[in-house]
Structures are given as C-alpha cells and as structure tokens.
Structure 1
Amino acid sequence: MNILVSNDDGIFALGIRTLANTLAAAGHTVTVVCPDRERSATGHGLTLHKPIRAEVVESGFHPEVQAWACSGTPSDCVKLALGALLETPPDFVLSGINHGANLGTDVLYSGTVSAAMEGVIEGIPAIALSLASFNEREFQPGANFARALVDHLGNNSLTSGVLLNVNIPAVREADIRGVKITRQGLRRYVDLFEKRVDPRGKTYYWLAGEVMEEVSDPLDTWGGDGVLESAMTGVKAGVSLLPADVHAIKENYITITPLQYNLTSPSGLTLLGQWLAKLPGLTASLEQTHPNEL
C-alpha cells in the first residue's frame, strides 16, 4: 500500500524514522513529509502569511522511503503532500510515532493528531500513533503494531470522517497486555507560567504545565439540573461501558480511540431542543424578529 507518514516531532525524530522504516521493510511504499523541526502542540494550525518550503532528505531512512522536510506545521505537511508532492493519493495517512502520549484532551492541542486528521478531512483513512512517555525511546513495539494494524485494515476503509488515535504504553513489547478500544478521557493540567528576565532586562514567560489529575469519566462532569442529566442519558448508555484511554494506558494496554472532526454535540442538540420547548416566548420572539429565516 501507499502510505504517507508525518509527525509533529520533526524530521530528526526517532519515532517517525522507526515507523517509516518498519513500514517500508514490510513492503509498503512510504513517503515521509514532516516538519523540518519540532512543531509539537501546534494543533491544526496552517501557514498562510509566508511561503512553505520543502527539501528532500536523503539519509536516515530506509532506501525505499522518499522523505521531505517541510518548513510548515504538521497540517501544512499533509496538505502539501496531498496537494503538491504526491502524484496519487495514499491509501493511508499515519502520523507519529509521537514522543509522548496523546490522551484525553491532549488531542485538542496535538500536532500529531492534527496531521492525521488532515488526511481524514481529505477522505483518506488515518491513524495517529503516540508512545506514552517522554523519557522512553523504544518505538519499535509501536511501529510493529502500526504495521499489523495497517495490514489488518487493508483496503477496508475506516468509517468516513473517523480517525484512529493510538497510544502505546512505554513498556517492553512482551509486557503489553493487549489492545483496548477506548473512549476519549479527560486530562487536567495546571498551567504554570514562569516569569523570567532576558539579558536585555525584558520580561518573558515560559509555559510549564503539568498533569495534576486524570478524570476517568468526562460524562460525569455533566448534570446538575435534571434536564441536562436527562439529555445525556442516551450518550452515557452508548459509551460508558468503554474504558477511558487515560486509564487503559496505565494498565499497559494499547489504546485505540476513534475521533472525528465534526464537533457537533448530539447531547447539546437534545438539550437545546428541550430548552426551546420550555421557552415558547423566546421562540415566538425570534419568529417575529426574523420570520423568513425560521
């Protein structure tokens, strides 16, 4: 299969080289297009006000891998690959293997997840992969799993608009307990801005947040007035039996969490419908103000 590989850790990251080389050694046609330096936590940012440059990288990868270093963000890299560098669309977009977990609310900031999501937006099946440690550097178990997952999925495309977010525990391959399908959990951070002064006497701030708490069930944060709790009942019934990614990874399971770019909240739609039903005066007022738009 033809596979596009990107990341947010940059062209020199061990994770992307391990992933790309493993896939190439398995017989896949692999093209790497990733940032020329680390671009972690850039989310889905795009470069709009300056040119994007890309240069061929001729060392560090399997001989059959064609690699490019791009001056843009992770999302830029995938856009550029699909729009200019590749002759035909790939069968898969893989992003990673990221050095550090992308669990829970991390996915909102993650350049790794955003690069994969760019593939999904373009209608291409995509997988984001992360090693759940900033200290460990053993990426081969994750690369082996990525190879097996791609081979298993084959040409059976994923559900349209769905990205697989995969996190690999930072343990020996023999100590991985298995694979679990998970739901997105919630990670809380306490943001600490350290105030510093540069050599010219000007003040600057350095963000150094850390995880202080992991919440097992984000759905439990909803509720309070009965109406909202009722609106959430159907949602809870559908996902509450699945473990949260933040907990399953602690038990040394590989986690696979399906994500989507459509952020519309089904429970929110239900809730708003209930609110409007109880506020006929508001509806009538809107109809009088904009009769042709309702």
Structure 2
Amino acid sequence: MRILLTNDDGIHAPGLAVLEALARQLSDDVWVCAPTEEQSGAGHSLTLHQPVRLREHGDKRFSVTGTPTDSVNLALRKLFADRKPDLVLSGVNAGENLGDDITYSGTASAAMEASLAGIPAIALSQAFRDNGASFSATEEWGLRVLRPLANMTMAKRTLVNVNFPSLPADKVRGIRVVRQGFHDYSRGSLVEATDPRGRPYYWFGLQDAEHTLDHGTDLEAVEDGYIAVTPLQLDLTHHAAIGALAERFAD
C-alpha cells in the first residue's frame, strides 16, 4: 500500500510525526507532502494568484509553500507520475475538527482533495484540553481506527473524519461511528485591538462558540470520551429542496 501523509499544521508539526509512526506500521511505502508553515483554518482553498514551491526534506518527504489542498494537489500531479497513492491520511491535527469545524478545516480539506481525485482519504484530529492528554489517545488507539479503514472500499466523493478525545489513552471508552454535529458560530468571539502605529486590527476566535450535544453526533461522542468516526460526502446538494425550488421556476 502506498500512503501519502499531509496536514494543515505544517511539515514539522508533532501530529504529523505521530501519523507517520502509525502509517509505517501499515506500509513501508509512506510519503509526506505537507505545507511548509501552519495553515489551520485554510479550508479547501487553492493558491491561484501566486506560485507555490515544492521543497524536498529527504527521501519521500516534501513540503509545499501553500495550503493543504495545494500540498495534495501538487503531490498527486508531480510526485506520483508512476502510481498514485492507495490512501491519503491527513493530520494528526492539534485540536478537534468536529461539527461545522469541518468546513474551515485544512485537515479535512486535504482529505477532500484526495477524495476528489478518487483516492480513499481519512482526516485525523486530536482534541486538546487542559489535562495534558497530548497525542496519547491517538498514539495508542490510532491503529485500531486505521486498520479497519485502510483497506475499506469507500464510495466515490466520500472520506472519513476521525476525532480522538482529549483523554489519556487508558481513559478512552471506545470507538463510535457517528454523524456530524453542529455548532452555533453566531457567538464566536472577535478581539479588537490597536497596533503600535495606532491602527485598529481584529482577531477572530471561536472561544464562545456553542454546540448542541445531539444524540449520535461527533460532538457528543468526543465529549463522552469516545473516538468519533464520521463518514462525510462531498455532495452538498440539499436533495429534499430540489422539487420545491423547481416549482418556483416552472412555467
């Protein structure tokens, strides 16, 4: 199995090292192509108005001066002329990607880019709280999550989003397959301050965002101490609304 690793925290991120250690227990053909610098919150953005550079950091190890989407796109076009990867793993993100976070997430978006290219993809994130859990849950449970998924035939334009709870490995309660939850971002914070030249600036934050722990969601699972495994699809069509909209345009 040929595996491509990427992330949105950058080529030198600790979570990428964790993911590489896991991947090497699945395959001896592991490649890395990740952003040169942190790109958290980049979403599914593609760099179009400036060039990106591919830098080599050793055997099968590269960085890209762009977004997570750029990294996957460039890797597939430039590094794998002979044979595409069989699997793309994105992460392990330092912080959860739950609910609507997925739409902002560079981690999830890198997996989306692989899925668009017809390659099975899994995004992995580690929740953090002030309890010193670090990546221990991912390190201990990662293979138990990845092995059943690695050889699974995924439907076209789908991916799997995995979130590990902020707990020591021995406190994790198990694995749940759940749906995506939802946040209330209307309460997200906005910090306003002044720079040394007296000009105002703004800093977006999500500290005050609320979420509803609906039953069967990724938010609930991680809150309850479980690893959340969520299948996602790239078809954003609201199929139930097609008929009602079509009636509005009927002759």
* CA distance in 1: counterparts of 2:140 and 2:16, whole angstroms: 13
* CA distance in 1: counterparts of 2:72 and 2:84, whole angstroms: 11
The more displaced of 149-158 and 31-40 is 149-158
**Secondary structure in 2 aligned to 1:153?**
helix
Shift in Å, 1:138: 2.8
Shift in Å, 1:76: 0.3
1:100 aligned to which of 49, 71, 95: 95
Q: Give the partner amino acid of 1:247.
A: E
Shift in Å, 1:154: 4.4
Stretches of structure 2 that go unaligned for 5 or more consecutive residues are: none
* CA distance in 2: counterparts of 1:165 and 1:149, whole angstroms: 11
List aligned pairs for 1:13-92, cutoff 5 A: 13-58=13-58, 66-87=60-81, 88-92=83-87
Shift in Å, 1:271: 4.3
2:205 equivalent to 1:208: yes
- Contact 1:97–1:131 at 8 Å: present in 2 too? yes
List aligned pairs for 1:1-294, cutoff 5 A: 1-58=1-58, 66-87=60-81, 88-133=83-128, 136=132, 138-189=134-185, 190-217=187-214, 243-272=216-245, 276=247, 283-284=250-251
The more displaced of 145-154 and 20-29 is 145-154
Q: TM-score, normalised by structure 2?
A: 0.91
For these two proteins, the number of residue pairs brought into alignment is 248
* CA distance in 2: counterparts of 1:29 and 1:89, whole angstroms: 12
Stretches of structure 1 that go unaligned for 5 or more consecutive residues are: 59-64, 218-241, 285-294
* CA distance in 1: counterparts of 2:154 and 2:208, whole angstroms: 32
Q: Give the partner amino acid of 2:64.
A: C
* CA distance in 2: counterparts of 1:40 and 1:269, whole angstroms: 34
* CA distance in 2: counterparts of 1:42 and 1:154, whole angstroms: 26
CA deviations 1:22-50 (Å, max 9, x no partner) are: 22144431111111111000100011111
The structure with the greater share of residues assigned to helix is 1
**Secondary structure in 2 aligned to 1:268?**
helix
- Using a 3 Å threshold, how does the CA distance of structure 1 residues 20 and 47 change in structure 2: closer, same or farther? same
Q: Give the partner amino acid of 2:44.
A: H
- Structure whose alpha-carbon radius of gyration is higher: 1
Give identity over the alignment, percent: 39
- Contact 1:169–1:254 at 8 Å: present in 2 too? yes
Shift in Å, 1:210: 1.6
